[in-house]
Structure formats: C-alpha cells, structure tokens
Amino acid sequence: MKNPFEAITGIKIIKDEPISKHTSFHIGGNAKFFVRIYSIRALKRILKIMKKRKMKYFVIGAGTNVLVSDKGFPGVVIKLNGFFTKIKRRGNLFYCGGGVLIDRLLMNVGEQGYGGAEFLAGIPGTVGGSIMGNAGAFGRSFAEIVDEITIITQKIIEQNLDNKRIGFGYRNSKLKNGTIIILAKIRFAKKRRKNIMAEIKRNLKYRWQRQPVGYSAGSFFKNPLPYSAGKLIEECGLKGLRVGDAEVSTKHGNFIINRGKAKSSDVIELAKRIKKIIRDRKGISLKQEVKILN
C-alpha cells in the first residue's frame, strides 16, 4: 500500500515495523504502518485519513500491557511523542501529555516537592494508557488523582472529561476503544522531597523483590476481587506451566514470561489453560488484563 500519510508534517512513519521491538513481551509480527506523532494537528489529520480509508489503528504507550498477534497488525500503530510527552505545573496541578511515562512523571513531580502518587512507582506504561486501564497498586489507582482529561474520540472530536465522566472501575474505565488521551490534569500534594523519594524507593524495592525478571506484560489477569489471581494460580500448582516458550513465572503466578522465543499463540494457549483450570478447580473465571492486538 502506498503511504497515505506522506503529505502530513509532524510525524515519522515506518512501514512494516516489527511491533515486538516496542512491547515488553517482545512478541508479535509487523505493523503495516508505525507512526510517531508529535502534534495534535498531525494526530487529527492522520485520524481523518484513517477514518476515510476505514483503517484500523492502535495507540501504543510503553507496550507493557499488550500482546501482539504473530501475524502482526494490518493497520496503523500510533506512538505519541513531542507535545504528548510534555509536563507543566500550575500550582499543585500537573498537565501531562498522554505519552508521558509514569516513572518520568513521578520523578518530575517529586523533584518539585509534590507527591501523592508514589504508589505508582515501578508501574510501566504511559499516563494515557494507565488512565484508560485505571492502573494502580497497593489498593490505590489513577482514579484518585486525575481531575480531568482531554481526549480525541473516534469521530475526531476533542473533548474534556472530568473524573466522574471517565467512569473509572477496577483496572478499567468507560473510555471506548479508539479514544486517545492527549492530556491529563493530575492533582498532587505538596510534600517533602526527601520523603517522596524515600517512598518511591521503597515501592520500587517491593516490586523488584516480588516480581519476576524477563519479558512479560506485567500482571496478565485482573484480580477477581476479593481474591488474588496470582494466589489462585499458585494454589492450583500452575507455576512453571509452559506452552512452547511461554511460561507461568515460578516467582509470581500472575506473570506469563516469554523465555526468549515464545509466540503470541503460545501465550494465548497458556492463558486458556490457566483459565480452564482455575474455573474447574476454584469456580472462578479469570479475566485478562492484557490486551490482545490482532
């Protein structure tokens, strides 16, 4: 296919880009187009072209909560850069682009003596993706700190949504697929820089001690509250269970690890087996936290 975006400025396009290079799983085929976008104007122009041509698209953040098909993605994978990675402060409110990495946000805010989101330390991903999925830890989540977001809808309409209209739930929101978060207004509290950095350090240490190393997408299943998905998997003796080069971590039951050559189909089959065993033995249905891109 001829490049339909060649006349647009403020972007960088790569054809047939291996998406595995951009995900923490290191799995998946090629995207027909991989587009880095640096401005809102360029984003809207691309969305209009994709809508006219009925092209599928997907916004990728840090690539930490997605599993890409072995066949790749027959559409456009969007990566937000430039404007979308900026952070500005007005009092205790921080205006963050949707492409800002969580760890970078925490360090930026902490250096200025603002905290309240240290529980997010070590969570991989971007502000936009984390708000879409209401990421969190230690019983807390993004829902507690987000005041307002600016989105672009599938109809290419720019809208502001306050916290209630986002519709936060457990590890999800009511934002529809195809919605792109371009800006978030997040509220922080004035704190001593020393205390902020110490808490971030403690939370990072906690994660490093309990989570496995290796290629993964983080927690694979949502916790079926009040239960822990990892605990259920461990109780059923599934640690170490493998399909191909995909393996249930021997350190944490809710992590599926790519041991180096795993295919998307291996991970999907392993997840199916885990779900069936938990359903048969515990009477509980696990739901994936990881998105499947195909």
Catalytic residue list: 171, 219, 289
Handedness of CA 280, 282, 285, 290 (dihedral sign): negative
Task: Check: CB of residue 262 under 8 Å from CB of residue 244.
Answer: yes
Count of beta carbons in the 10 Å neighbourhood of residue 215: 18
> What phi, psi does 136 have (nearest 5°)?
-175, -175
Written as one letter, the residue type at 229 is A
* CA–CA separation, 223 and 232 (whole Å): 9
Residue 46 CB partners (closer than 8 Å, separation 6+): 5, 8, 11, 35, 37, 76, 78
What is the Cα 37 distance to its own chain's centre? 18
